[in-house]
Amino acid sequence: MSRKVYQPAEMNGAFAAARNAGNLDELLSLYEDDAQLLVDASGVALTGKAAIAAELQKLIKLPGTMVSNNTFCVAHGDLALLRADFTLSDGKGIVFYSGFTAEIIRKQADGSWRYVIDHAGASRYGAG
């Protein structure tokens, strides 16, 4: 199944929903074919859906529920710059993993938006 986002500010919520559903295909549908994903400060980018899939599978396997809230969304033409803060928490509301993202998304021919660059940074809390 493909998940489509038609408002840039809804991208992070859509990502969290697909992650919480454990749906790798939906997560990947949010990325352009040659998108880049950076997951740490090393500057190493994973390019393309196959490389991104392996990393997103790790995220899906983490326990808990993800919530992702935009800090800002700045759209200009067919591009948008996003920043969000996210958490993973257990059923009692205890946060055991949190972080932030910086993203560039692009409007597609059908009016939906997809990630071009997704840079996530995280800090682990607790025993999770």
List, in order, residues 6 or more apart from 62 with CB less than 8 Å away: 88, 97, 128
Dist. CA 123–CA 112, nearest whole Å: 31
Dist. CA 92–CA 27, nearest whole Å: 26
Say if residues 87 and 67 touch (Cβ distance below 8 Å).
yes
Structural domains of the chain, ranges and CATH numbers in brackets = 8-124 (3.10.450.50)
Residue type, 97: Y
Could you tell me the pLDDT band of residue 127, with boundaries at 50, 70 and 90?
Answer: very low
pTM: 0.90
Tell me: the pLDDT tens digits for 54-103?
999 999 998 899 999 999 999 999 999 999 999 999 888 889 888 899 99
68, burial (CB in 10 Å: exposed 0-12, middle 13-18, buried 19+)? buried
